[in-house]
Structure 1
Amino acid sequence: MRISLASLYSVLVLLPACIAASPPQVAVASPATSTTTMTPPKNSPLQRDQAVVPPIGTTVSSTENTPTTYAFMKRPSADSGMRYSSNDWFITLLATPTSYILRRIGSHFLFNLMISIAVAYASIRYPDINLSIPMVGHNLLGSSLGLLLSYRTNSAYSRFWEARGYWTQCKSTCRNLATMMQSYISHHSPKSAEKFLVYLAAYPLALMHLCLGGHAMLSEQVQKLIPQPAYPEQFYDSPSLPAILLGRELHNLLRQAADESPTSQRHLVEAKHLCECSHMVDSLISSMSSCEKILRTPVPWTYSRHTSRFLTLWMGTLPFALVGTVKPFMIVAVVAATSFCMFGIEELGHLIEQPFLGDPLGSDDMFVAGRMENGKLTDLMERGQKTRPYDIGIPVCSLAVQIRKEVQLIASIGGKKH
């Protein structure tokens, strides 16, 4: 039994509807990374960046290795609040060959493309051999596959959104702590308050180290503030340890501030402020634990494996179902387009499942050096060099630097800069 291309339409129409049910995206700001950009018009404050994802093999560093810029390609700016719009469809289509998703699904895509070419050639070369199979199987399973892929993508996006919320909580808590320390505690305990702000400014860097699973070298600023481990690899084996030690030191500094102040025992308002600061330090530690939960708890691997097998079987038999339904050369075109869409959705779920990304930093922020495995960067740090902030993950390196600088700025307003 042969049916038209209804099975393809059922899958490709169902997926956007299911994915649209995910939580709404809210504008998130992050510091811009080092890219080559066009000068925006003076009358356009919300001008889009002109950077693109670098070609395969391009590396990113602070100055010399900045990715090539293409005049026709525009990118939204997270800092200004500019986002993609429907008017970007053409330039987005032109940029398909540079797509990071396409590079990731390349082998699977080529495998199915070769099958479709072989089936199309065989149908022309040997017309007496019946290669077609009923389309009814693809029709029946198309909706199930669409639901499976959309659920996989929605689950991954929920992790992305949750992770961004934890970093927002960390940023808000650091701001509140720095402000309260300068406004209230520093007048009674200046030495302890000054030291507290130094440790607080280093905390986002320790959280970044945790979120990257230890794949980024621990900042020297953090290493100077915490006890050194018995062996150098301990911070890699337990990436949460630096943040835990900093949290402990922050609590110790609050106790020292209470001991330093001559009025903390009888001044109830001052004691209340110290108690509130202690609760906010607890909030920082809770954010760290929540980020660790996301890092160490994947979407069940059985789900991913079954989805991959289901999709490979469905796509691998699609050329045979199209024999006789469309012309031979159209078999290749239909399979190529469908493979790109379906495999791309699957890979998107895999990429954003780990929402923390080691984005490259330039100039004075190059302390985020990636660990090497067999002479190569780890996969997570390599992703950060081949993509841009919020392409597939949260730029935790940039966020950590931004929070650190804000704490230092708040500290410098009421006294010398740390």
Structure 2
Amino acid sequence: MIVNKNLDWRHVLFYTWKSLLYFVFLSIAVYTLHHVYDMEKLTVPFNVVALLSTALAIFLGFKNNSAYDRWWEARKIWGLLVNYSRAWGREVLTLSQHPDGKPNEELSAWQRRLIYRHIAFVHALRVFLRHRHAYNENGEEWMKTTNDYADIRPFLSEAEANEVLRKNNPPNYLLLIQGQELKEAYQKGWLSDYRFVQLDETLTEFNNHQGKSERIKNTPFPRPYSFFSRVFVYLHGTLVPFAFVEELGLLNIPLALLINFIFLSLDQIGETTEDPFENRPSDTPLTAISRTIEGNLKEMLGETQMPAKPEQVDGVVL
């Protein structure tokens, strides 16, 4: 997620430089043909371009609103995951007790195991949704540690971690293990009927959070929006130099570039926000949220060694 108020121009140009280069050469070619080779009929009525600009602005606005809705839904899902994770830690620690009511080392180990396994679940879900590393504007791997299944190993036994990572859906398998542990605790008398149901309902919410996230991940933004928005932006941008070349002359080149940059930026905003789990600078900050959950749960266990807060890299928190 980009947190700086001012965007880094390197990020902007990374997505737009090829298109801007096309429009620069096009504007130069139109000026040369019109003023050097006296092809005065090589123009387009201004009203045509103005009408197309209005229609394109409305279309891009609708597309960007829809893309933002996907980004905001992803953020709300992970915000609820934070809340339910805190509830899970509290319920595990306060609703489970030994039948004789006395402190019990086996029960304490069980509580810690369930909380640590949930931390592993959160990190596994983050990696499962992203599927790849982040890359910077040079195409080089960037902040590799933000998307690595090795992050779950400190919270599981070696045998359990190896077993989980052999599965096609590691976070879902972790929830299965959690359910099995709840069943064993119920059979030992550590959980009453009501308390077992309460913990199981919270566990079901984690299934819901994963399912909702997977729905966004696996359901692409309607491709006609992306395809036709890009076609219309290029069509509009190609016509712009022809509308101003006769009146503005050489000034037509920077003006056409400015107008096209605005529409390119609007189109790119939608492109970069429609898929919030791709580990890009503008995506939902899953790493930061995961570490927040980890810190909260460790604090509930009375631990003092907290995870490092994700650092900003070029104004971006992943």
TM over 0.5, shorter chain? yes
Q: Is the 8 A contact 1:163 1:294 kept in 2?
A: yes
Structure 1: gaps spanning 5 or more residues: 1-29, 31-52, 54-74, 77-83, 85-91, 265-269, 359-382
Q: Does 2:113 match 1:195? A: yes
SS of the residue aligned with 1:356? coil
Q: 2:40 matched to which residue of 1?
A: 129
Name the structure 1 match of 2:198. Answer: 276
Residue 206 of structure 1 and its aligned partner are, at CA, apart by 1.1
Q: Paired residue for 1:212?
A: 130
Deviations 1:244-273 (A, max 9, x none): 0011011111111112226x4xxxxx4322
Q: What CA distance in whole angstroms lies between the structure 2 residues aligned with 1:272 and 1:323?
A: 77
| Structure 1 residue 315 corresponds to structure 2 residue 250 | no
The CA deviation at 1:190 is 3.5
Aligned to 2:84: 173
2:276 corresponds to 1:355: yes
Judged with a 3 Å threshold, the aligned counterparts in structure 2 of structure 1 residues 259 and 214 are, in CA distance, closer, same or farther, namely farther
> Share of identical aligned residues, percent?
19
Using the alignment, how far apart are the partners of 1:301 and 1:253 within structure 2?
Answer: 43
Q: Where in structure 2 are there 5+ consecutive unaligned residues?
A: 100-106, 134-146, 307-318
CA shift, 1:299, in A, is 1.0
- For residue 394 of structure 1, the aligned residue among 280, 284, 290 is 284
Counterpart for residue 189 of structure 2? 261
Whether contact under 8 Å (1:149, 1:346) holds in the other structure is: yes
Aligned length: 282
After superposition, where does 1:106-121 map in structure 2 within 5 Å?
A: 106-121=17-32
1:264-322 alpha-carbon deviations (Å, 9 max, x no partner): 4xxxxx43222111101100111001111111111111221111111111111110111
Q: Is the 8 A contact 1:157 1:352 kept in 2?
A: yes
Compute the RMSD of aligned alpha carbons: 2.6
Shift of 1:398: 2.0
The equivalent residue for 1:221 is 152
Give the Cα separation in 1 of the matches to 2:305 and 2:177: 22
Higher-helix-fraction structure: 2
Contact 2:152 2:161 in 1 (8 A): no
Alignment of 1:15-414 (within 5 A): 76=4, 84=5, 92=6, 98-127=9-38, 129-187=40-98, 189-213=107-131, 215=133, 216-219=147-150, 221-222=152-153, 224=158, 225-226=160-161, 228=163, 238=168, 241-261=169-189, 264=191, 270-325=192-247, 327-358=248-279, 383=280, 387=281, 392-412=282-302
Aligned counterparts of 2:305 and 2:246: Cα–Cα separation in 1: 78
Distance in 2 separating the partners of 1:118 and 1:105: 20
1:149-198 deviations in Å (ceiling 9; x for gaps): 11111111101100001101111111001011112215554443232112
Q: TM-score, normalised by structure 2?
A: 0.80
Q: Give 1:99 deviation, angstroms.
A: 3.8
Offset of 1:343 from its aligned partner?
0.5
User: Is the CA contact (8 Å cut-off) linking 1:192 and 1:256 kept in structure 2?
Assistant: no
Contact 1:134 1:321 in 2 (8 A): yes
Q: Hey, what's the Cα distance between the residues in 2 that align with 1:416 and 1:274?
A: 30
Cα deviation 1:87-127 (Å, max 9, x = unaligned)? xxxxx4xx66x241222111011101110111122322133
Q: CA deviation at 1:226?
A: 4.6
Q: Is the 8 A contact 2:71 2:283 kept in 1?
A: yes
CA distance in 2, matches of 1:328, 1:214: 48
Is the contact made by 2:221 and 2:275 (CA closer than 8 Å) also made in structure 1?
no
Q: Any conservation in 2 of the 1:204–1:401 contact (CA below 8 Å)?
A: no
Give the TM-score of the pair, scaled to structure 1.
Answer: 0.62
Corresponding letter in the other structure for 1:142: S
CA positional deviation for 1:356: 2.3
Amino acid across the alignment from 1:198: Y
Contact 2:126/2:287 (<8 A) preserved: yes
Contact 2:89 2:115 in 1 (8 A): yes
Kept in 2, the 8 Å contact 1:211–1:292? The answer is: yes
Residues 207-245 of structure 1: CA deviation (Å, up to 9, x unaligned): 10122035533125357435637xx8x66xx4xx01100
Higher relative contact order (CA 8 A, sep 6+): 2
